[in-house]
Chains A and B, each alone.
Chain A
Amino acid sequence: MLRVRDLVVRYGAIQAVRGIGLDIAQGEIVALIGANGAGKTTVARAIAGLLPYRGEIAFEGEVLKPNNAERNLHHGISLVPEGRGILGTMTVQDNLLMGLYVRRDKAQAMKDLAALLERFSILAERRHLLASLMSGGEQQMLAIARALLSKPKLLLLDEPSLGLAPKMTDAVFTMIQDLRREGLTVLLVEQKARQTLKIADRAYLVETGRVITSGPAKEMIDDPVVSETFLGGRATAAHP
């Protein structure tokens, strides 16, 4: 479904991503794990079309143009960015309506919105509230719900557990599994590696802009490289 080859992204003189390649098949949950600053977010933003890059990103066989987020959304790629990206000065309802911005099937879109509000009842209760006034967990739900309204084929989730209480993190991870069961493909960018690997099918471990190892998620939990560089010593020490 998604093929990334030799991806290089620079921020001025800094090379944040140094030739990363990855593949995602239809219906998979693929995890991109690594320490803070490893380049995970940059990869997700490049795939979503928010950044210029060198290399190739192809989605469903079509090579995507860099820095073309609007077009990528039309292709079916939706990113829930790090920090949730809710529009805090708008109401919950306006945020959700923004999720329908690209939909041309307005009647069906409104039905989808109604169905979504049934599924996320807290959003229905708070639809007239300013989004910035909701709790972190509720904002994350809003961000995911809003992304779903564009009917993505590939959902990119960047640090969805960031700043959430453990109970809310569990709820978000359960939701991700539910979405996969419904047929959605997910690229999950996370620092909570152990929890992420438990729900992912495959994973890539990124360090200083490169993939240092990849494979089935269940095997990676026991992989000594992963364990040493991320689950155990170094990363933990660097990011207490």
Chain B
Amino acid sequence: MLIQQLVNGLTLGAVYTLIALSFSLVMGILGVLNLAIAELFMLGGYFGFAVLMAQLPLPLALIAGMAGAALVAAIVERIGYQPFRAAPVVTPMLSTLGFSIILQNVATNVWGSDPLQLTDEVLSGRFNIGPVSVSAIQLTVLGVTVLLVALLAFLVQRTSIGRALRAVAENRDVARLLGVPAGRITLIAFMLSGALAGAAGVLIGVHYAAITPYIGVEIGLKAIAVMVVGGTTRIWGALIAGPLMGVVEVMTVAYGGSQIRDFVVYGFMILILLLRPQGLLGGGRSDQGQRV
């Protein structure tokens, strides 16, 4: 039972990790909380569902979810962030909050407020390892998450674009002096962030075999909690905090009941803020630049 719940928690945590990375990527580079990410996650799910309902395979649904959410993220960046770049940090945050509400409204009008359900099972089959039963979908969620995190890590740590992202995150002026087009890199950060959120949307949609226009709010807020627990100045903190929060949530439901789930999850976040405001992986002051 315990190991089974652990696997379930890790699956949920994998999705939290992807969305938290999505938040952290923009937060790390720009110091701005892009609140539209929660709805990019939701839209990614709908784009993926559209592909799956056309009887196309899951990898195509993932690509559609990621590409669609990345494109919407680009629009958010151009309209909701760029014009307010020089404004106090709360201004672009409020602007992305406005975008978030608009996107949810658009989804409600396009797809309706009732849950959209997958009629056909996307992936069937279960694998029994001793007392633990893992579904093919759970394995897919975990596998795709590991793959996307590895790709992101490679991109950020080993490529020219990744170095440019890190340079802009650390010192925008110095990055510009080195020829980095900071505006374009910001757009890339938004799009990457959108793609991660979109992938998470497809994965959670497939996992629950249903999606609603309101799914972004609940899971998006949890992902923000994951980012805080991991450390807002270190995006890789989400790799530990995501699975941890997923496991905490699933264990709470299993052993304490779903009525105290949010109390425990957000209580844990507040506890971390009180005891270790920099998050589990965040360092001291000298560490502030190492965000990405």
A interface residues (Cβ-Cβ under 8 A, vs B): 48-50, 69-70, 73-74, 78-79, 81, 85-90, 94, 97-99, 101-102, 132, 146, 150
Contact = CB atoms under 8 A, between A and B. Distances in A.
B170 A73 contact: no
B177 A48 contact: yes
Interface of B: 160, 163-164, 166-167, 170-171, 173-182, 286, 289-290
B212 to A, nearest CB: 41
B7 to A, nearest CB: 36
A50 B170 contact: no
B289 A88 contact: yes
B176 A70 contact: yes
Given A70-B181, A73-B177, A85 B171 contact: yes
17 contacts: A48-B177, A49-B176, A50-B177, A69-B173, A70-B176, A73-B177, A81-B174, A85-B177, A87-B166, A87-B167, A94-B163, A97-B163, A98-B164, A98-B175, A98-B178, A101-B163, A101-B179
A101 B182 CA distance: 13
Mostly, the B contact residues are helix
Contacts of A94: 163, 166
B166 A89 contact: yes
Contacts of B177: 48, 50, 69, 73, 78-79, 81, 85
A90 B178 CA distance: 14
A203 to B, nearest CB: 24
A90 B179 contact: no
Contacts of B180: 70, 98, 101
Contact of A87 (B170, B176, B179): B170
Contacts of B160: 97, 101
With a 10 A CB-CB cut-off, give which of B174, B177, B182, B286 has the most chain A CB atoms.
Answer: B177
A50 B179 contact: no
A99 B182 CA distance: 15
Nearest to B176: A69
